[in-house]
Amino acid sequence: MADVHECYKLKVNFLREKNKSIVKRKKLLSSDYIIKKRQPFDAKRKRDKDIFITNKTNFKAQLKKCEKFLNNGNFEIIIHGLGSTIQKACSLALQLQEIHYGSIELDIKTSTISIIDDFEPLDDNVDYETINRNNSAIHIRVYRKFSISTLKYQE
């Protein structure tokens, strides 16, 4: 069994090692910098079936856009939500499923996306800074179980 003094030494050494890995980030004053946020999703990889949800876009407009894609013969769309728009993306997918009376299935994936913020200096005395941060994201694949043509009345 370990001696009491040995346990205390182990605890002190553990705390020292733990505190070594913590790097304090210096405070960046907003009066010294212009903050420019990079786009989290790559615009080159965007496909026609991708729909990105934002807080600025009207919910009904996004719903109509999704309806237009599904009614034009597309079998699937992918709804992407980032951060605070996750709830809006889920509501949109569930609304689509309700409108189509259960003929639509949902495949939901969550992830963490790295976002880069650029701090461009206003003065020459300050250095250019970048900060990486993580944000949660959701990707909802909305697809039809079966084709609409099979539902049409055949004579």
**Quick check: is 12 in a domain?**
no
Task: Domain count for the chain, please give it.
Answer: 1
Instruction: Give pLDDT, residue 155.
Output: 45
Tell me if 116 is assigned to some domain: yes
Whole-number percent of the chain with pLDDT over 70: 70
Position 12 scores a pLDDT of 56
Q: What is the structure's pLDDT at 91?
A: 95
Kindly state whether residue 150 falls inside one of the protein's structural domains.
no
Smallest CA-to-CA distance from 102 within 48, 151, 58 is with 151
Please, are residues 132 and 114 in contact by the beta-carbon 8 Å criterion? yes
Smallest CA-to-CA distance from 145 within 94, 108, 104 is with: 104
CB 85 within 8 A of CB 54: yes
Rg of the chain in Å (alpha carbons) = 25
Separation of alpha carbons 99 and 92, rounded Å = 11
**Cα 132 → chain centroid:** 14
Backbone angles phi, psi at 116, to 5 degrees: -110, 125
Identify the CA nearest to 139 among candidates 94, 99, 55, 79: 79
CATH classification of the domain holding 113: 3.30.110.20
Tell me if 67 is assigned to some domain.
yes
Q: Is residue 152 part of a domain?
A: no
Query: Does 36 map to a domain?
Result: yes
Would the pTM count as exceeding 0.95? no
The domain of 56 spans 28-144
pLDDT at 14: 56
Residue 66's closest CA among 146, 144, 136? 144
Give the CA angle between residues 114, 112, 50 to the nearest 5°: 90
Q: Output the pLDDT for position 9.
A: 55
Residue at 98 is within a domain: yes
pLDDT in tens, 101-151: 878 899 999 999 888 888 888 777 777 788 888 999 999 999 987 655 545
- 35: β partners: 119
Mean pLDDT throughout 25-46? Answer: 66
Is the residue at 5 inside a domain? no
Residue 93, pLDDT score: 94
pLDDT > 90 fraction of the chain, expressed in percent and rounded: 30
